[in-house]
Structure formats: structure tokens, C-alpha cells
Structure 1
């Protein structure tokens, strides 16, 4: 990736003197911002643009070229790739649009480009992008002429959208964060977000990678990179609500919508996700602050009302307002001896009008023992907003930058504009109390999330009969395991289920029930029925031989005409399990991230209750316990209202074993254990649905 950001020489292909020529914009930006390397222009006709000669072929350029930027019609690009390969140019950027995003037939051209890359060892960014930028080197390869470079900072930006690249660049610049490098990746045909994230994680000039994505090319690789790094990573993932390609075959698939999987995957890897421009701005500034290691907070505000607002927001985030020692208040009295200030936190300094006092108060607050974070909220009228107040804010910002704890600075000008001060400071400031407190909460919560993601995991070998399991999956007819096959698969993995028997027909159901002991459940054994409850393929709580015989006959009559294969494979008679807290446990094979596991409350009502926890596999036993601990409604499992607590270790073991099924069998597309009941001394899976992939495995 190095030559995409540090080329010594660049050739721009597609340059002409015609008005509106896009490639000329790249030449303009290289000139305008003072790119220190060498650059050349290539076009179909000789000439000159912006004082740069236009060559008609790469052969005319005697210099060694590190990077080619291509802005030519789609059909011409494969031949240009071959010319670049012959010239020894191994890094290319295709800024031209009009590939598969325009017409699906152009995939043939994309395939040809990839073939040339494999043959000659080329790497390229794009197509349909605006290239790379290295602001420390004054390099901007955007085809649209730019007027100013963003503020130099420590962010490395990767974006699928060229427009978002420009917007984020100026947004981060305006908000005091700044930018170091940026890459617009467009269609991500060759170089993708994982390649660039890996580069930015190694780059000492990039402190925080920021990604704007509309989809993941190699989701697993991205997560593995993030998990292994100590740098903060911020992602804005859009395209969150794609239409489903078909009706989900299981409850689990219905809950595991793609965006929810992405959300869980990013958190699990220690990546902070933003969903809108406002939250993105706050998060970007928050992650540029020092990490907040605890909850002990001090607030200094120039308005009593704003102090109360800060205290409310702090409580909502679980912060603890520290009780400052007497030495702190004595220092405050020395700084502002003529003003009576109540000894409390938040510290209301609304009656202090000497701006030269404020930075000294901040400095005193930073000396409070055991402090984890500080908020300083400045409120000014337009008259007070002057050079004197700006100088004070610069001193506060300098103190904040050198402090060992994060300092959230809120700056409010009544009827005024904070933009000039934001541009003047090399430290992010916030426009209101809520954003200031939210930023400190992110500075705390993100690093807890990161520590959890980077914990060394301890995987264990679970006892299971893999030979038996492979036989069960291998003899499946169609995409769905029959009810008895699904339970046999669970047994092969040591997952406890209520006792059950097969019955060939209605007349043999009663003897099977008597052997198990009433009450029992009756289920059709069929590889044609996915949702047994909706299809009428299950009857619960049968208490007599007559009841089960009658239910079996009625089931055969009901299912036979609609689903000829259903009911003809027999019946499964199962001992009814006692009441307990019900859950759903399942998973699927996600296109971007691979096998994913879900745990939720509610059993058959899980989709309605919508209380779920999602994890990417593999997980270890601690992560299985964390899934339980993170579950909304955990109190139900811990013995709410006098109920005996569930065996959470048994439940964690069941979670691990269900995950192992997905890991061991690539042919399994979806797994649904629903309901699972958690008892004081055990956890049982009452039913299972196993859906196989349509692809050959």
C-alpha cells in the first residue's frame, strides 16, 4: 500500500486540453498543493496542460513511475493496465466510473482487469473513486480541483464514496480532529477496506483509522485486524436496510438481519460504529481524547442551568461526580477571591467574569486525586467572545492536551459561531453539554470494549461424536433435517434434550408415549416442514393414549393434502419438559462474517420480544458467559421474584456446543434451537431446526 500514499512519481492517464477534462483536475491538485514528487500527463493527443506536457504514450516517459491514475473510458482500461505492466508500474488507481455499478455486462471488463493483475502482480484502487490523499505530503489525487487541504491530523480515512471522502475530510478538519491520509476505494474490485485498514494500523502517522462502508468485502479479515490492534477504529456503516432476498426459513434468520450482524461483529472486534453525521462527529472527537479509565468526573460550568444539565447527563452515563478535597476549593478561592462559589460538583462559576481565572480553575481541577475525567463548559455572550476569551480557551485546550485524563470542553456562544475557535484550536471542542458528556462516555466505553475484544481467548476441545454427526448431515434429504435427525445431531454434540421416541404411524404413537410417560408432545417427522407450529405439525401436552392417537390421525389428515411428504415419515413423540425461562439459541452463516450465533429471550416469541445477543464464532467459554450476562432480561435467569436461578454454566456449555455444530459443518446454513429452557440444574433444547446450504459442500 505504501506507493498509493508515498509515490515519488505519478502519471495521470486521460489528460487533454478539452474543457471539463477530469484528469486535468488531478494535475491541478498536484500543482496547487505543492506535491513534492514528480508528475506526468498522458493523453491521446500531444499538447500541454497547466504547463505540463501531455505524452501520447507511457513509452515516452523515461522516468520510473510509482503510481498511475487512470481517467479514461471503461473499455480502454484493460489495455492501459497492460501498458502499465510493461512499463513496470505496479500500483494503479482507476478513477473512471462506468463499471458494474453502471451495467452488469461490464463485469467482463472487471474480470479482465483482475486477470491482468494476477499475471503481472499489480494492485489497484477503484474503479469509480477519487483516489488517495496524503496531506502531510500535499498529495491529493482527486479529479475535482480543490481549494484547500484539510487540517493535518492523525486520522486515516477509507471511504467507498468519493463524496463522503471529501465531506468527512472537511468535517473532521472543521471539528479539530484533522486528517493524515484518505483513500476513496469505490467498487473495491482489488484493494479493499481490509487492505487499507491493515496499512493504517501499521502507519505511525495514523492514530485513528476511520471507515465509511456500504458493505464488507472481507468482513472476517477486517475484524481480525481490528481485534489485534490497540488503535481506536471508527466505522460508519450505511446501507443498513437492504431488502431481503427471500423469506427466511427460520426464526433465527429473521432476527439475524445483515445489519444487526454487522453491528454485533464490529462491537465484538472493538470497532465503534456510528449511524449518523452527528454521532459520527461526536465519536471522532471522543476517540481523539485520552481514554477515560473510570467513572470519577469533575464538572466546571459557567452557568448553573448548564451545570445541572451536565449532572443529569453524567448520571445517565453512570458517571460518579467526585467530591473534591478542601485543597481544591481553597485553590478556587485564591483564583477568584472576590466571588462566592459554592463548594460542590458541578462547580458553578457563573459569577466569575474574569476569563483569566478559568484556565487556572481547570488546572486546579486536574490535580484532584483519583480523577478520571473533567468537563469544562464555557458559556459566552457575543460581547464576551473576544481575543481575551480566545486566548483563555487556547490555554484550556493546551492543559487538556497535556492532561493524563480526558477533558471534554464545551463551548457555547449565545447567538454566535464557534467555527473560528474550532479552527484556531488543535483540540476538539463541543457545542453543547450533551455532546460533551456523550464524548466522555465514548472515551470510557470504547476502551472497555477494546480491552474485551483484545482479551486472549481460551478455546477448548468439546467432547462430541463428529463421525455420527457427519453421517446425520450427510444423509439429509433436501435442505432441512427431519425432526429426529436434528435431535440426533444435538445428541452427538452432548446437547441435552427431553427423551423422545419415533412412531411409524398413529397407532404406534400411544405405546411410545406410555413408554416415555405422559404428558408428551407429538411432532411430524418431515424434511418438508420448517415451522412446525405454523404448519400444524406439533401438538403439545397430550395426556392420554386416546389424545395422542387422535392427534396423530388429525395431523396426518391436515398435512397430507398440503404437503404430501409430511407425516409420511412418521412421528416424533417427546416427553414434555417442565416450565422454565425460555430462550432461543441459533445461528447462521453470514455472507460477510461467516458463522454467527444468537441468544435471545422468549423462545417462539423471540422475534416479538426482540431481546437478543449476537456473537461471531468461534467463541470461548468466557464469551459464552458474556452472551448470557449481556442478555436483556438477565434477571429472569438469575431468579427474579423468588424463582430459583437457572444453571448459567449449563447454559453457557449449551451455547458453546451449538456454536461448535456450525463450526464443524460448513453444509449447515442455519441452526435453530427453539425453545431452550434454562433450569436450576440443567439446560434443555426442546426442539431443533437445521437448514442446509443449497450449494455443494
Structure 2
């Protein structure tokens, strides 16, 4: 009987050169693939693998290599198209040690195939309980030794009998994680760079009578694309004055990028033809895929599978296209006739129809873009891929994202956190009220409220704005002005009324306005220049908002020139409401270079309130960079062995599955968190006996979660038997005899009741939440969220994010409490959540925060049996289809 095939080990991966391959476990049906693969190997590759010449493999050897049990003997292969290009395997030596070997076809060596296969094989080995790999390598096989040494695992080597024996400890290290992240970053960035910088473009599906294909073709030609453009039409000899070809394969030159505008039913055949031609990237503007329902979604998945199998990345389908206004490229492979000039902003939009309007708005504001991608149904290329590219792109200073869904939210937050320390990321996320995911957009079903998404964006340093106007308002400030050092704002104006509006807006946005400088309606360039110079020179001013609204036209050019001169010398952000105009106005630019405003240009807003609102976002982002942006929970801390054993035992006894209750107190104890003992009782006499054993005073409370959240289900400070008896009878009567009642030693008073929870979200993975335990706080949803694990800085931010946080710091008549102990508890719970993916739910309720300590009075934990790694938790790979 054939061993059970582990389908969750399959993955599409991006290689070091930006191409793709499919990784999967080997099957017995791969015998012919193995023979063909072996026949293409050089004598040297065979010698290094088998330590001697071996012209061919016997049928017995083929059977042995393709027959595995997926436990003690495992082999993974890399496929490009239908051909096997590499294989890696391990064979058990001891219960915790296995021998590893791999072989890569000569034509594909140097593409990072071996490295990605080793990552995946190491993950499977850890899943099967192995702790070490052993490899015997010939000294001349430097390539294999390099792959093993550069993986980042703890390694040892020895030399005997002409062979180097290398031993790898498979426990993840900070170095091995950094290696994986670095390789992922370079590969995915390279895959996008190939799309945005093609040497040639083919447009497939053009017609002589207009339509989508001809629109893209004309836009490419109008932008004066730097390379050859090949229209593909079955019959026409020329389209739009350019020689046409009957098929992609008939093109007599290389094709880097293909734009597909053919009917959906014909896309698959065209993709296969592009793969045979050697095309490296696809833009599918055709509709009729996931947005149309189940049949279209199946067609979309097949499109992606085939493209990835042959090494191609796909933008779309149902998309607007991509643009790169770099003068060396001049690419407008979109349906939009208007593409902004060169700028400092990278722009990603899921919506195709909206993308056209967004590009027009960018152009109207005079901002410019570094590159633009509209991903449509986002079947393959996503915002995460663009983040990888823009992180290192020297032409991009600010990243704008219009998102309708999140494909891999945990990966998004990981990337954003790293990138936002250097380049601001501004996001508009639609669907906040409706929780709607547009048809055709692959996305996990997020179990968290929209407020949680905002919290997690905040943790990652992402600037989430409410609408598209704010998106561009914030972008034009961040792209051309420095970040403010603090919240202190100076206001220079020639209108009392507008200055007061700016001051009021500052107060409402949490900024600290200084008394405004009103120059009067007749103020000119000299007055504005002197006032601005005085404001930016003041130590108690971090940014300046200038309002210029002259009652009589004239003199604007001189005022603008003076503002630009002073702002360019101060090093502080300067914003303007200049004649009520919006955007990067020509007269407020510095260092003009065509249509691209230079750093230091002053952004203008239609009203002072808009300028202040954009500035407030920048202040919060600067504060994140200065504080939380530098603090992060580091590499793996090591799972508490007792906790792991407790979880395994509980799942084994329950037969695995979901909804398995576990001893929460025992689990938390492994992480240094004590849950005060609680004795369930079923009569007044039992309650008195329990109180005497625990020690006076005691509290009596309901245990069930639904009862805990109701008012009046706790009796505190009971110090006599008759008080306990009376309290029990009263509470039992209130609960109707259906709820469990427990007796617990009385916690120190005064104390603030809080709730700490963990949920395993299908998209984000483990998420820690914090809120107050009072009924009013629960009803108002006053809760904040952070991804696990938590650094001390993140724990502090989580505590302070709830609206009722001042009650913990001695405000409103409450005594200050042990916030440091609370933050330590959150860090420990976050570590537990991160290290134990089996914990589906963990509630600490109530958690009493006293003046000197934190007491956990109740805890509940529910387990599940995870299938495969968490989102963004396993070896690198593209989102599955």
C-alpha cells in the first residue's frame, strides 16, 4: 500500500532569478521524469552525487529513488513545466538524524533551486521529528557545501577517507531565518523587476477595430516604450502602424512581457504558447475569471498553476496593467491613457476601474509615480510582491496601496514592519464596514473586526487612511518633505479665520499648535518669508502650516518662491494652503526635473484642515519609527518543553481534532504565568469548605464565559462562613442553577479588571488582544490587538491603545497600577501564542491589575490540530491556488 501523500508539502516557489518552479513530494509515477532528468545531467554532476561514474540508473534504482514513505524516507522534486529539474532527499539514520543529498540539473544550477529545496526538506524533516541532517560531500563539490553552509543552521564538518561529512542542526536560528527572509526578498523583488523593466512587449489579442488589446498597444506606443512592441493578430499584417504577428511563437525576437487581451476561454492556450516562447511575465487584462463565479475561478486557478509551472509571474487577470515612467523604460502597459510622469511614489491598486481614476488624480496633483501596478483579481502577483520590490527600489520613497483584500496578512505585516522603518507605507483598505471581499480576489476569511486590522496596521507602522483624498494628501507630504520631529505646529497665515481653523484642526488631531502668526491680508513675499523663517527657527516648532489666501490676486509667484527658499533651508516639514489649490504646484517646487518635483517641494492643500490631517498622520508615523519601529520580538525563544508535551498529550487523548480543552493553568505555568486556583462548588456547604481551605477572604463568581461578561456575577470580600453561604445562594438563584460557581481566594484591592485573549486567526495567525473587563468597556468594544510575539515595546503600546488606558495610570481618581507587570504578562502570553500553533483560543478573564501585582483569576484554553504551517510560517512559497 502506497504511503499517504502529504499534499501540504506542495508549493510554488520563486527562484533567485525571479522565475518560478513547483516543489512537491516525489511519487512512484515520476519514474519516467527521473530517467529523463538523469539523462540531462553532466558527468561531473553525477560524479559529485554518486562519488563515481554512473552512466544511467537501473530500473531497480529508479524504483528505490521514487518510492518513499514520506516519514523516514522523503524526496522532494522541483518541476518547471513538466520536467523535473532537481531532487533532494533524506533517509533515516537514527530516530532524530537523517542523511541528505540533492541533485540539480546543470542548466538550472545557480538559480537557487537547491537552497529552496533544502528549506522545504528541513521543514518536512522537523515535522517528522528529525533534528539533524548529515551529508557526505566530495571536497571538490564546493557548490553543495556552499548550499549547506549558507543555509544558516548550526553546522559542523569533519574530513575522513577523502570525504567531508557535514552535520546540520535543523533547529531554526536567527541566522537561518534571516537567510530565508533575505532570499525570499531578493527573489520576489527580482520577479517584479523583470515585469517592470522588460526589454520587449507583446500584446496578444489586438484588433484593428479598437478594443482592449488595441488600447494597450496604443498606450505603449504613445509612451514611446524603449523596446520593441509586437502586436499579435491572427490575420492582420499590421496594427496601429506596427508589424503584427499571427502568434507569439512567430515573433522573430525575444519577448520578455506579454499582455493578454484574448477572451477568457482562450487564455490558457496562449499562456502555454508564451511559456514555450520563453516569455518571462504576463499581464492578463482579460475578464471572465474569478470575478464571474466558480467556473471563472477554476479557470483563474488553472491559469496561475500553468504560468507558475513554466516560470512566469502573472499580473491579473481582470486588471488595468502596469506602468513604469522611468525615462530608460517608458512602459505604459495599461488601459489608462493618462499615466503620471516620473515621481517618488510606488502605487499598487487592486481595482482596475478605480486605477484609471487614481492615476488621473496623481497626475492632476503633479506628484508623479516611480511605478504602478493594478493587480485586478490578484491571482498571483500581489501587494506583498510589490513591497519586496519597492523596498530596494532607489526611485521609490513612498508606497501607496489601495487594497480590497489581504492575501497573506501575516506576511504583509512582516514586510510592512521592516519596510516602513525606511519608506512610509500608506494604505486605503476598503470593506471595513461590510467585511466584503470582491469576487475573484483570493483572501482568507479574517475572523477579526476591522478595528483589529487597524491595530495590526499600526503595529506594523502602516499608515491607514480613510479615503483616497487622504491617501494622496499624506503621500504628497511624505514624498517631498521630511518627517516631523514632534507634534508642535506653527501656523503662518494672512487670514485670522483660516489660522484659527488650522489651530482647531491641530487640537482635534492631537497636535500641539503654537499661537498663529497672522500677517494680514496685504502681506507679501518679504513678510511671509520672514514669518516662516522665524517659525521654523523656533525650538518649540516641529512643522509649519502656511496659509496664503490673498483677497486680491497678484504676487503669488513671489510669495511661493520665498516660501520654497526658506523651507529648503530649515530641515523641518512645511505644508501650505496656497490659494486653496491642491497638489504639488509648479511654483512651490524646488529643483525641477521635468514633471518630477524634487525633495523639499512644498505640498499644497485645499483647506488648512486637510494639511493638518496629513501632518497628524506623519507625526504618528515618525513617533512609531522613533519608538516601536526599533523594538521587535526577536528570533525563536524556544518552546517550553512542558507546554509542548501538555498540548501533545491533550490532542492525543482527544484523538486530535478541534475544540479540545486543555488545562490552561498548567499551560500558562510553563511560561511563568500563575492562574490562581479556583474551586468549583455545587452547594453552600461546599462553598464554605472551599473558602476554609483556600484561606479568607474569598470571592465567589460564575465561571462560564457568558456569565463572566454579565454584571453582578461576582461576590467579593467574603470573610465569614455565613457571608459565603448567603452569597452562594444569592448567586445560584440569580444564575438559575445552570452555571458553574467557583470559590477563589480574594485578590488584592483596589484592582482594575482586564481581559487578555489570544485567537488563532486564519490569515494573521496568533493575535493577542487586550481590553478592560468592565461591562461598559466590553459593550463599547474597547479592545486593541497585536500580532504575536510581542516585544516589550509592543506590549506597552497595546496597553495604551485602548481608550480606557488612563485608568491604569492614576487618572480620573483611580490609583496607578502595576502596568509593568501587565506588560510582562502580555509578552509571556504572546510568546506562548507564537510558539504553540495548536492553541486556537486562550482567554485570561479576569486579569486584575493591582497597585503592585497582576493576578490572573481565570483562564481557558482550546486546542486544534493544525494542518501545515501557519500563514507565513513555513518555508518560502507563493500563495497556493
When normalised by structure 2's length, the TM-score is: 0.66
Secondary structure of the residue aligned to 1:58 is coil
In structure 2, the partner of 1:352 is 522
- Counterpart secondary structure, 2:627: helix
* Aligned equivalent of 2:573, options 406, 415, 422: 406
Aligned pair partner of 2:285 in 95, 114, 137? 95
Aligned equivalent of 2:306: 116
CA RMSD of aligned residues (A): 3.5
Q: Is contact 1:520-1:574 (8 Å) kept?
A: yes
Q: 1:310 aligns with which of 499, 502, 508?
A: 502
Give the corresponding residue for 1:250. Answer: none
1:448 aligned residue: 623
Deviations 1:595-643 (A, max 9, x none): 1111112345432143222211111223223322344333322334665
Match of 2:470 in 1: 279
For residue 143 of structure 1, what is the aligned residue in structure 2? 335
2:553 is matched with which residue: 379, 385, 393?
Answer: 385
1:680 aligns with 2:857: no
How has the CA–CA distance of structure 1 residues 556 and 448 changed in structure 2, closer, same or farther, with 3 Å as cutoff? closer
1:588 alignment partner, SS class: strand
CA distance in structure 1 between the partners assigned to 2:832 and 2:436 by the alignment: 26
- Aligned residue-pair number: 643
Provide the C-alpha distance between the structure 2 equivalents of 1:440 and 1:298, rounded to a whole number of angstroms: 12
1:619 is matched with which residue: 778, 784, 790? 790
Structure 2 residue aligned with 1:66:
256
**Quick one: which of 222, 228, 234 aligns to 1:32?**
222
Q: Deviations over 1:330-362 (max 9, x none)?
A: xxxxxxxxxxxxxxx522221535456534654
Larger displacement relative to structure 2 (270-279 or 468-477): 468-477
Question: 2:483 matched to 1:291?
Answer: yes
C-alpha distance in structure 1 between counterparts of 2:630 and 2:549, whole Å: 42
Post-superposition offset of 1:689? 3.1
Aligned to 1:499: 677
Sort the Cα spacing of 1:530 and 1:72 in 2 relative to 1 into closer, same or farther, 3 A: farther
8 A contact 1:12–1:68 mirrored in 2? yes
Deviation per residue, 1:105-148 (Å, 9 max, x gap): 2333233223323432211111110110012343211235x1x4
For the residues of structure 2 that align with 1:606 and 1:554, how far apart are their CA atoms?
A: 26
Answer whether contact 2:470 2:614 (CA < 8 A) is retained: no
CA distance in 2, matches of 1:259, 1:495: 30
Q: Measure how far apart 1:402 and its partner are.
A: 5.2
* Contact 1:271 1:450 (8 Å CA) reproduced: no
Q: Is the 8 A contact 2:769 2:783 kept in 1?
A: yes
Deviations 1:358-394 (A, max 9, x none): 346545654556753222211123xx334x4234324
Aligned to 2:706: 531
SS of corresponding position for 2:301: helix
Q: Which of 408, 415, 418 is the equivalent residue of 1:218?
A: 408
Cα distance change of structure 1 residues 233 and 299 upon mapping to structure 2, 3 Å threshold: same
Q: Give me the whole-angstrom Cα distance separating, in 2, the residues matched to 1:397 and 1:423.
A: 9
Q: Which residue of 1 aligns with 2:456?
A: 265
Structure 2, gaps ≥5 residues long: 1-191, 438-445, 590-596, 869-881
How far apart in 2 are the matches of 1:418 and 1:439? 13
Local SS of the residue matching 2:757:
strand
1:516 and 2:706 matched: no
Deviations 1:435-488 (A, max 9, x none): 223333333222112333431435567978324542564246975565x83334
How far does residue 51 in structure 1 lie from its aligned partner after superposition? 0.9
- Asked if structure 2 preserves the Cα contact closer than 8 Å seen for 1:502 and 1:572, the reply is yes
The aligned counterpart of 1:248 is none
Which of 664, 668, 671 is residue 486 of structure 1 equivalent to? 664
The 2-side partners of 1:321 and 1:533 are apart by 45
CA contact (8 A) 2:633 2:789 kept: no
Paired residues of 1:232 and 1:287 also in contact (CA < 8 A): yes
Q: For residues 508 and 467 of structure 1, do their structure 2 counterparts lie closer, same or farther at Cα, with a shift above 3 Å needed? A: farther
Q: 2:322 is matched with which residue: 132, 137, 142?
A: 132
What is the alpha-carbon distance in structure 1 between the residues aligned to residue 861 and residue 809 of structure 2?
30
Q: Is the 8 A contact 2:216 2:335 kept in 1?
A: yes
How far is the alpha carbon of 1:26 from its aligned partner? 0.6
8 Å CA contact 2:677–2:744 kept in 1: the answer is yes
Q: Provide the rounded CA distance (Å) in 2 between the counterparts of 1:349 and 1:227.
A: 43
Displacement of 1:539 in angstroms is 7.0
**Whole-Å Cα distance in 1 between the matches of residues 736 and 619 of structure 2?**
61
Aligned position for 1:342? none
Give the secondary structure class of the aligned counterpart of 2:453: helix
Whole-angstrom distance in 1 between the partners of 2:399 and 2:756: 34
* Range with bigger deviation, 121-130 or 457-466: 457-466
In 1, the alpha carbon distance for the partners of 2:862 and 2:563 equals: 60
Q: Bigger CA drift: 449-458 or 657-666? A: 449-458
Instruction: Please name the residue that 1:325 is paired with.
Output: none
Q: Which moved more, 1:510-519 or 1:57-66?
A: 510-519
Which deviates the most, 590-599 or 605-614?
605-614
Match of 1:332 in 2: none
Alignment match, 1:659 = 830
Alignment partners' CA distance in 2, 1:488 and 1:76: 59
Inter-partner Cα distance in structure 1 for 2:747 and 2:660: 22
1:648 aligns with 2:819: yes
SS of 1:290's equivalent in the other structure is coil
- 1:60-91 CA distance string (max 9 Å, x none): 10100110111112222222111111111121
What is the aligned partner in structure 1 of residue 272 from structure 2? 82
For 1:93 and 1:399, the matched residues in 2 are separated by 46
- 1:174/1:423 contact within 8 Å kept: no
Shift of 1:293: 1.0
Partners of 2:204 and 2:574 in 1: how far apart?
48
Distance 2:530 2:436 in 1: 58
How far apart, in 2, do the equivalents of 1:240 and 1:556 lie?
37
Question: Which residue is 2:643 aligned to?
Answer: 466
Asked if 2 retains the 8 angstrom alpha-carbon contact of 1:16 and 1:44, the reply is no
Contact 2:285 2:316 in 1 (8 A): yes
Question: 1:540-584: per-residue Cα shift (whole Å, max 9, x none)?
Answer: 56855755886899899854xxxxxx97xxx75433445521111
Q: 1:508 to 1:169 in 2, by over 3 A?
A: same
Give runs of aligned pairs for residues 593-608 of structure 1, distance below 5 A.
593-608=764-779
Q: Confirm or deny: 8 A CA contact 1:583 1:674 kept in the other structure.
A: yes
Kept after mapping to 2: 8 A contact 1:509/1:552? no
**How far apart, in 1, do the equivalents of 2:705 and 2:524 lie?**
74
CA distance in 2, matches of 1:280, 1:497: 46
Q: Deviations over 1:140-182 (max 9, x none)?
A: 11235x1x43243111101101123222222223224222210
Q: More displaced, 28-37 or 473-482?
A: 473-482
Q: Which runs of 5 or more structure 1 residues have no equivalent in the other structure?
A: 246-254, 323-344, 560-565
Distance 2:459 2:742 in 1: 39
Please say if residues 790 and 831 of structure 2, whose CA atoms lie closer than 8 Å, have aligned partners that are also in contact.
no
What does the per-residue CA deviation read over 1:200-250, in whole Å, with 9 as the maximum and x for residues that have no partner?
1111111111000011112222222222230111111111134599xxxxx
SS of aligned partner of 1:75 = helix
